[in-house]
Amino acid sequence: MEIKDYLIKTNSPEETIGFGTVLGEHLEPGSVVALTGDFGSGKTCLTQGIARGLNVPGHIYVTSPSFTLINEYPGRIPLFHIDLYRLENESEWEEIGIDEVLSGEGVVVIEWAEKVCHRLPREHLLILIDTISDNSRTFKLRGHGEKIIDLVNHALAKWKAKDN
């Protein structure tokens, strides 16, 4: 399987949302985005942008589902936002039905994905987020599979074109 890495830097939460928006515009049914990063690194901020790119209505506020584990949002494609921070063991994975969500036709964004990387589908986008300063972040995107790599290439071309 083909794997490709990309590096993006943002300098504000607004830029992070903007990058997420562009990414969300290019995601397709069945796309899985796995996010890793420390507390406050921008996982939920990026997901808010992805939601915007999927046309989740503006009056719906996207929050981290820390206590519910999964939030579903309506949009051009349904968005399933999963937060695994409170996941204590693998058996909880089955109990909350994540396999069903992953095999569906929505876009799935998973926070704290490092807890279940071995359970992710072969085709997915892994994003490792590093905090550079209060506002700056780097996003290392690792596309797993040709389809997601193509989607990321199109999104990055649009993102770079916005800077010119």
Note the pLDDT tens digit of each residue in 44-58. Answer: 999 999 999 999 998
Q: Within 13 Å and on the Cβ side, how many CA atoms surround 29?
A: 7
Residue 89 has pLDDT above 70, yes or no: no
CB-based burial of residue 133 (10 Å sphere; 0-12 exposed, 13-18 middle, 19+ buried)?
A: exposed
Q: What mean pLDDT is predicted for residues 95-115?
A: 81
Q: Which residue type sits at 51? A: A
How far apart, in whole angstroms, are the C-alpha atoms of residue 30 and residue 14?
Answer: 26
Residue 117 has pLDDT above 90, yes or no: no
How far apart, in whole angstroms, are the C-alpha atoms of residue 61 and residue 159?
Answer: 24
Residue 1 has pLDDT above 70, yes or no: no
Q: Which residues contact 18 (CB under 8 A, 6 or more apart)?
A: 10, 49, 162
Please, are residues 84 and 116 in contact by the beta-carbon 8 Å criterion?
Answer: yes
Domains of the chain are 3-162 (3.40.50.300)
62 DSSP assignment: P
Residue 119 pLDDT grade (very low, low, confident, very high; cuts 50, 70, 90): confident
Residue 101 has pLDDT above 90, yes or no: no
Please give the model's pTM, rounded to 2 decimal places: 0.91
Closest CA to 33 of 110, 105, 101, 87: 110
Residue 94 has pLDDT above 70, yes or no: no
How far apart, in whole angstroms, are the C-alpha atoms of residue 146 and residue 151?
Answer: 9
Q: What mean pLDDT is predicted for residues 19-46?
A: 93
Residue 68 has pLDDT above 80, yes or no: no
Q: Tell me the percentage of the chain whose pLDDT exceeds 90.
A: 50
Alpha helices in the chain (DSSP H): 13-26, 43-53, 90-95, 98-102, 146-162
